[in-house]
Chain A
Amino acid sequence: MRWVQLFILVYLVLVVQTTLCHIIAFDIRVVGRVAPDVMAMVAVFVALRGPNQRTVMIAAWAMGFAVDLAAIGGVGSATAVGPMSLAYAVAAWLIFRTREAVFSNHAITQGMLALVFCLAAHSMWVTAQMVLRGGWQYYGQLMMQVVGVSIYTALLMPAGFWLLSTTQGLFIEAPVRGTRRSRRTGR
């Protein structure tokens, strides 16, 4: 994993998520406000293409921490920092464990994995915030919103996956293939 480049990517995605994503956000009467979680798309991509489990979880933790820093409201009071980084790491572990069983180049699979990731991470975050807040007001409404956000993210995931695939070499090290000579000589 190329960590410096990955952190630059996380920073840029955070900027996009706190600004430009508001362009494509919309309100649904029974659900509430719905906007895509672009950082989750990056986390799913890294979970599918990352070299090993710990690297994937550390990268997802960093992404979740970035979201934690910029996700302040929504549960009736200011939110605590920490639950999203944990939730991202756990959700990334979940995706990593299932990646061998799925054909990740298919758009529907990518969308389904993003849906699972968002449902897991966001519902963990909402639940943790409610527990830390000490009250369950708005919980039902927030869970409806979790479903809305997850579906929206899943719908955009194939496009995000394609974009990330084109720049994958910048932040995920490709396996080094030996030259013909090294393969022949074994060195």
Chain B
Amino acid sequence: MAKREEQPNRWVLIVMMALSVMLALSGRGVARRVRGVTPYILGPLADAGMYVTTAFRGSFHGDEDVPADAESAALIRYWKARAEACQQQLDVLTQPQEGFSPITDLSIELIPARVCAGDALAYGRTRQVSAGRQHGAAEGDQVTTRLLLTNRAKALEPHNKLAVVTRTALVGRLGETGAYTARLILVTDRAFRMEAQILRDETIPRQIRVDRPGNVTVEWISKENNASIDCLAEGNGSDAVIVNSVSKDDAVLVGDELAVRVFGTYHWTHVLIGEVVETIDDPELGAGFSQLRVKPAVDLASLRYVFILAPILGPGEDGR
């Protein structure tokens, strides 16, 4: 004779269903609190799993810029650092209004964090990182890679540490931030929206519209007239960042860069998001405007170690 397992009390199921409905209707505030326990539940097992995932994906990521040997990589890092230092000094000299403006020196603390887990479903492009309010992180903070920078950071004096921010790539910003963990919204997530700038490559000849007080002219691009273009960057939920409503008069081409502004040691500096890989007519505004598809500068699938850029603020200041 086979023994039949008894059915659970139907009220158990009814209560569970009712709980789901109540949680769903109670909104995101309750969801945030309920989800606060998830990082502690997933814990070290997820961390180990993420290590395997990022290592595996990283080994398959083909990056044309990565040199074959460590010596070449170190040399490239050195010359990139030198070039940036020179550029910063040049900027300070040529832009005194920014360098000596009333804005006092706003420093940024780099909070190291580790990617511990990802989203359970394919729809979200978020990560859980191992730093939270206890470490100084807050919702809205920008998050960058830690690639290329570690050696330079060690070599620099602590008060000059900001210089290391300049050539990293932005990977996202923080969403809900708990005591010890935070949710990183990747640049490709649908919830990612951030003011950004398009940096046009002067080495690619093109005619651009130049707005000067009193007149608008069309000129060939040069270092003098190549101003960055303000725009809104949005994630497409897949593998790219989308920029809508870019005027065709601005002549943005494939190969130009998308970046965000971060306050450096003396002045605002750009942190790269990615490179424009495709320009099409804007689906909403028509032929006079472009929609740009930007490929992130880093492979987000193999992202493991990040820096959270936390502004160091005085009492009463709000820089986030």
**A contacts, CB < 8 Å to B:** 1, 11-12, 14-20, 22-23, 25, 27, 29, 32-35, 37, 39, 51-55, 57-58, 61, 65-67, 69-83, 85-86, 89, 122, 126, 128, 132, 138, 141-142, 145, 148-149, 173, 175-178, 182-183
Contacts and interface: CB of A to CB of B under 8 A. Distances in A.
A176 B3 contact: yes
A139 to B, nearest CB: 11
Interface residues of B, number: 60
A22 B118 contact: yes
Interface in B45-67: 45-46, 49-50, 52-53, 56-57
B20 interface: yes
Given A14-B120, A58-B12, A78 B191 contact: yes
Contacts of A69: 34-35, 37-38, 41, 120
Contacts of B238: 27, 29, 32-33
A77 B185 CA distance: 10
B2 A176 contact: yes
Interface string B174-201: 0110000001010001110000000000
Given A18-B120, A54-B13, A138 B8 contact: no
B156 interface: no
Given A1-B5, A23-B57, A138-B190, 13 more contacts: A23-B52, A58-B12, A61-B13, A61-B16, A72-B175, A74-B237, A77-B28, A83-B24, A126-B123, A141-B237, A148-B122, A149-B121, A176-B2
B117 A70 contact: yes
Contacts of B42: 14-15, 18, 70
B103 interface: no
A61 B20 contact: yes
Given A67-B121, A149-B121, A19 B52 contact: yes
A178 B1 CA distance: 6
A132 B82 CA distance: 52
Interface of B: 1-5, 7-8, 10, 12-13, 16-17, 19-25, 27-28, 30-32, 34-35, 37-38, 41-42, 45-46, 49-50, 52-53, 56-57, 117-126, 175-176, 183, 185, 189-191, 236-239, 301
Given A54-B10, A80-B28, A83-B20, A20 B52 contact: yes
A142 B49 CA distance: 27
22 contacts: A1-B5, A11-B41, A15-B42, A17-B120, A18-B117, A22-B118, A53-B7, A54-B7, A71-B121, A72-B119, A72-B176, A73-B123, A73-B183, A74-B124, A79-B124, A85-B20, A89-B20, A141-B237, A142-B123, A142-B237, A145-B122, A145-B123
